[in-house]
A and B are shown apart, each in its own frame.
Chain A
Amino acid sequence: MAGFSFAAWGNDLYTGRRSYAIVAQRKRWFAVAAALAIASIAILGFKGLALGIDFRGGTEISVENVSTTQQAPAIEAVRAVAPSDEPRVASVGSNALRIQTLKLDPDQITEIGQRLAEAYGIVPADDITVSSVGPTWGQGVSMRALWGVVVFVLAAAAFMAVYFRAWRMSVAAIVSMLTDLLVSAGVYALIGWEVTPSTIIGFLTILGFSLYDKMVVFDKVRENADGLLDQTRTTYAERANLAVNQTLVRSINTSVVALLPVGGILFVGALLLGAGTLRDLSLSLFVGIAVGAASSLFLATPLDVALREREPKIKAHTAKVLAARAGSDAGDDVLVNAGAVQLQPGHHLGQAAQPRRKSR
């Protein structure tokens, strides 16, 4: 075998010849997820999200009768006065500019006005109008978006509970989706870009993607767990772990394929365009997709196993399997090598493994 073959790796994962004990080590993943979530909450709490002009209001400067509608001088003018600001400049008509900034005090506005006047050859008193932007729109959008999230979560939870016929699965998916959202928001706050309506859109998309990804993985779990109770060789945890391993290649491929275009926009947006719709949207998406794909494997499925092992039927079944196994030579690490039970021809599993006549 020359080098590493992705297909062969996928093959080994599929057959269980190679297996990562993702479910068995679930406590570790829960700890990681909890740490990330707590860190995100801390970041959100201490640093907070930098809200854009649409959410917190701000100052809007209209410059009219400019000789050129180039935006660079306007950005420079604002930056010179308020260095931390990320002004949004748009041409209005053929001879006017609109500059959105953070809330500025009158002195700053006067100074910016003078600089703008120099740069564009205008009369400050006549051609510059200043108005402030109310935060109503952003709040309105966030409120409705929040409602959208609540309704979506309820509807999706109901759908999954019905589809999988197991409410615990749906709970696991929703909980890990919300964790995704939290962590994405944390990363966004950490980077410190402004939250604009585009960011909100990005986060809303994350919800859909994250849940979609979990659906795909869970569907494999469901498929593997079908007929689980009719046999005593593998436990639910093992089969779920097998499912995770089997979908590993798909998850990697999916994430790469989804991340490539988003990464492209992020790269171009952040480097070439500066603040704007594309940049904000792509960052929230990039983080969200990566986190969502990872949590489908490492959080959602282990969480599902942890929840479903409390289900009486599955609990009893797991106990039965483990009891049956205790007699055989397979040790504790069978659980670790979940799904990787390899039977060797000619090897005897002991008398316990032999078919038995049932008492009549």
Chain B
Amino acid sequence: MCICLPADANQSALQPEGPLAKVVADLFWGMVAVGGLILFIVLAMLAVALLRARNNAEPRPLTFTQSRNLVFISGVVIPALILTVFVISSAAVNREIVAPMPEHALTIKVTGHQWWWEVDYLDTEGNHVAKTANEIRIPVGKPVRIALEASDVIHSFWIPQLNGKTDMVPGKRNLTWVQADQPGSYRGQCTEFCGKQHAKMAFTVDAVPEEDFETWLQRQAQPAREPATENETKGRQVFLRSSCAMCHAIRGTTALASVAPDLTHIGSRKTLAAGTLENMPGTLSAWILTPQSFKPGSHMPATMLTGEDLGNLVEYLLSLE
């Protein structure tokens, strides 16, 4: 059982979807063009060097002056010119990327944990608005400030299609920006080795129109909805009296722990276990019973539940939209 990624899923830095990633992709192609040319010219010179005397009986070496000019011009002058252009254009692109963004931009705090992402939405005064995990929603076409922290080891936050990576270092707060030009879902992944499940520490950034974003954020800010059916009520009881509540929070209930993803709106998420599994009743049950078979080493322990309890629990969790 594995996640079935959408057909167009990609996290390619060469298919940028935002202004920050775009300038870097342009820089890359510029460097490839110049670098390719350099490679071609040097290899051509090497080929000439080797083949020049081939048809002659005697070696025909360069004179001292020719050699000196060759080394000085191709080994010093031209590289120095190219590298100067390179350093300046690299710094110019860098300047564009780190340029100050609007002061009142939306700020999202993302905290790296072994092996999931805690996502907090802050208002312009820095007050906490809503909490979710592993899925970030942003308004399309607007720069969004991302404040990066880590709770345990170093992680790195990377959405190739939107912007380069920035590390999340325990005890520090790093800043980065993302902006998506088109609505869509962009995949990101941890890029600083962080232990056993570094490979399965992914997330998505969904860019949606601004109105949709506001509605979504308001809903995320709400506490969990009350159970609507008898099964859901039983499911909530299972949650609160089993080990789930020791690590997870569901706002609006007595479960307030914060060492694992907040499940207040788990039903509205598309994936489980940091982008590892699709969020469906079957996968959710399997994940609860045997998380170690999907992410060996994960800090989520296996939970022993009867079939009925499990069914109710899953029904309840998926109702939390």
Chain A bound to chain B: no
Contact surface of B with A, Cβ cutoff 8 Å: none
